[in-house]
Amino acid sequence: MIIIYSFNKTGFEAEQWTREITAASNQEHIFLPFNHEPFLPVSRYLDSVALDRLYQARNPGLMRMYDALQQMIRQHGADALLVTNCPPYHPDFLRKLDIYKALYSTDDPDGTYRRTIPYLHAYNHVFHVAPGYSADMELREKLRYCGMQNVDWLPLSVFDFECDPAQTEETILSHERDVDIAYVGHCFPQKMPVLTAVKRAFGSRLKVFGFYRPKHNLYANLVHAYGGWIRPIGFKERVQLYQRAKIGFNLHWNEFGLGNQRLYILPANGVMQICDCPGYLPRVYRVGEEAVAFRNRDELIDRIRYYLDHEAERKRIALAGFRRVMKDYRFADVTRRAAALMVQRAGASV
């Protein structure tokens, strides 16, 4: 099967996505990267209403994107289209494409409602990264309730550029780890109380980086009294930080939204992970063996203190988490798993 993998990234990250998508190809499946970001910034179509307005106005950038995709389909005789990140394809355009269409929804429950559910009728297949959705139902049930029959959980994975692929089980914990606690992430209001509490509890032992602009830092300090300035970090710097870190904690959108990149990047770098969403974490890791769960900020702080004081247990969990990611959650393996599921579902629908 020849699959066009459509994504939106820029700069170094775009280069790495392009390289690793291509490298995932094997004798059974060929993956062709198509970066839709250069045609139109993702900020222009963050939800289905914004995309509909662009499409109805025949926005020039959007039309160039669609023409380039159609040309690529014809040139390579593509069998399928796999779309991830924020989908840029209007359903009325997708209706014209006579290939198997799959949407890889990497959003939390909030983003799913705005960027996945409105497009379900235009796809043959949907993958999702979050097991949960709400107190009423899990995401698989919600997507099927909305009319999608071909639904599969597909975890976010770790790219080679997000870790050091040369590390092995024998070497990943052999070097010095002089950073006690690390956290890298965007500024989200609901996460700031926990982040601030951990900062107050551990001070300089916690290293925090993220995509914080001045307005985000002002918000963190004026509203939450965070007590510090958070600066951005590059992809290579992030790997270097995680390779030095003992413990990394993970925060999601809410208790149903388990499935972000940290979930896989932390253990891929030998960092022992302490994660929220305790009700869903067992879907991805063996809790207490490959990762540790917490229910609230006080429990998180207690867990961090405990594992900083119990090095042997920390290392055991970190190594088991590393082993699990390398076995089940690397990008090439997960992408090939998606292709196999697409072939299976496509065959069943014939």
Domains, the chain, in order of start with CATH, read 2-157+330-349 (3.40.50.2000), 162-328 (3.40.50.2000)
Contact 176, 281 (CB under 8 A): no
Please give the average per-residue pLDDT across 241-266, as a whole number: 95
**pLDDT at residue 12 is higher than 90:** yes
Q: Which residue type does 18 have?
A: T
Residue-level pLDDT at 71: 98
pLDDT of residue 350: 38
Phi/psi for 348 (5° steps) reads -70, -25
Indicate if the pLDDT at residue 251 is higher than 60. Answer: yes
Three-state SS letters, the chain: CEEEEEECCCHHHHHHHHHHHHHCCCCCCEEEEEECHHHCCHHHHCCHHHHHHHHHCCCHHHHHHHHHHHHHHHHHCCCEEEECCCCCCCHHHHCCCCCEEEEEECCCHHHHHHHCHHHHHHCCEEEECCCECCCCCEHHHHHHHCCCCCEEECCCCECHHHCCCCCCCCCCCCCCCCEEEEEECCCCHHHHHHHHHHHHHHHHHEEEECCCCHHHHHHHHHHHCCCCCCCCCCHHHHHHHHHHEEEEEECCCCCCCCCCCHHHHHHHCCCEEEECCCCCHHHCCCECCCEEECCCHHHHHHHHHHHHHCHHHHHHHHHHHHHHHHHHCEHHHHHHHHHHHHHHHHHHHC
Band of residue 349 on the pLDDT scale cut at 50, 70, 90: low
pLDDT at 207 over 80: yes
pLDDT at 347 over 90: no
* Average pLDDT score over the chain: 95
pLDDT in the model for residue 113: 85
pLDDT band at residue 346 using 50, 70 and 90 as cut-offs: confident
Average pLDDT over residues 85-101: 96
CA distance 226 to 218: 9
